[in-house]
Amino acid sequence: MKKLSSLILFVSVSVLVCKSAIGQDEDLLKLVGGDERPQKERIKYAFKSPRVINSHSMEFLNPGTMDFRILHRFGQLDQGYKNFFGLDQASMRMSFDFGIMQNLMVGVGRSTYKKELDAFIKYAPMRQSTGPWSSPVTIALVSGISMDGLPWADPNRKNFFTSKLAYYFQAIIGRKFSEGFTLQITPTMVHKNIVPLQTDPNNIYALGIGGRLKLSQRIAFTWDYTHVIIGMPDSGYYHPLSVGFDIETGGHVFQLHFSNATGMNERAFITETTGQWGKGEIRFGFNLSRVFQIKKRKR
């Protein structure tokens, strides 16, 4: 009996001593960190901009922001000093894109090439994320329309307004593989209501591959290639390839690049690229993107 009571005494004293002895260097945060469940977290910042170069990227504008973009494509480099390697000529597109929700954005733009007006809506049913029920890729869908602004080629015949229109439908499947590397593929279909020749197809199917390789915190190497699979005219047209650098300077993103495409909307650059890389029919171009916060954020 005595043994038992002394045992109980010993245990109770040692419990007291031990419990108060711990306190000193323990990790207090462990006391409250036990119930943290892994949460689904969206992978952000796969690209610096919602466009790779010409193509849409898997990235979206934040809700309540507007992206004002000024795009320039100069003349062909192979024109030499006479045209100052193309810098004497410029084709441009100006656009306003709006972020509506985390996964929904719209935009309108106007190009000097064919005086085209274009608009799009972009929605992502699935975003790349980590944690439970996460998705390894972002899947986004884009639907766009463009309207030719040139006067009718033949005003004497009966012209329809719908002849000015072209549409495109695109899926973007992209993944940010690491902090520095992002890759996406973009199956695309372009439909033109009217084409110059009876033999030209109205529907053009293409597959784009775009990516980003971060060189530093503020500079990234980007590329954007679209391969026209079905509907490429027999001669005179080529697959658009652009390579360049994204440079971020505080509020602006500069995208400096070389491309064989002049057009800056999907109809124009996918179906009407006339330059050939091999022949030096390349143009210098830049996109200037400035994002404005137009709606105050709730914090």
Q: How many residues does the chain have?
A: 299
Torsion, Cα of 141, 245, 224, 110 (10° steps): 60
Strands (E), 102-149: 104-111, 117-126, 129-130, 138-147
Provide the 3-class DSSP secondary structure of residue 103: coil
36/154 with CB nearer another protein: 36
Residues 51-110 within binding reach of another protein (CB under 8 A): 62-65
5/198 with CB nearer another protein: 5
Binding span for another protein by CB under 8 A among 24-32, 194-202, 232-240, 269-277: 24-32
The answer to whether 277 and 258 have CB atoms below 8 angstroms apart is no
Two tokens, residue 216: 């530093």
Residue 270 within binding range of another protein, rule CB under 8 A: no
Smallest separation, CB 21 to another protein (Å): 11
Rounded distance between C-alpha atoms, residue 220 and residue 213, angstroms: 6
Among 52, 204, 282, 291, binds another protein (CB under 8 A): 291
Residue 215 within binding range of another protein, rule CB under 8 A: no
The answer to whether 195 and 202 have CB atoms below 8 angstroms apart is yes
26/234 with CB nearer another protein: 26
Helix (H) or strand (E) holding 266: helix 266-271
Residues that bind another protein (CB under 8 A): 1, 4-5, 8-9, 11-13, 15-16, 19-20, 23-24, 27-29, 31-33, 41, 44-45, 62-65, 179, 217-218, 248-251, 291, 293, 296-297, 299
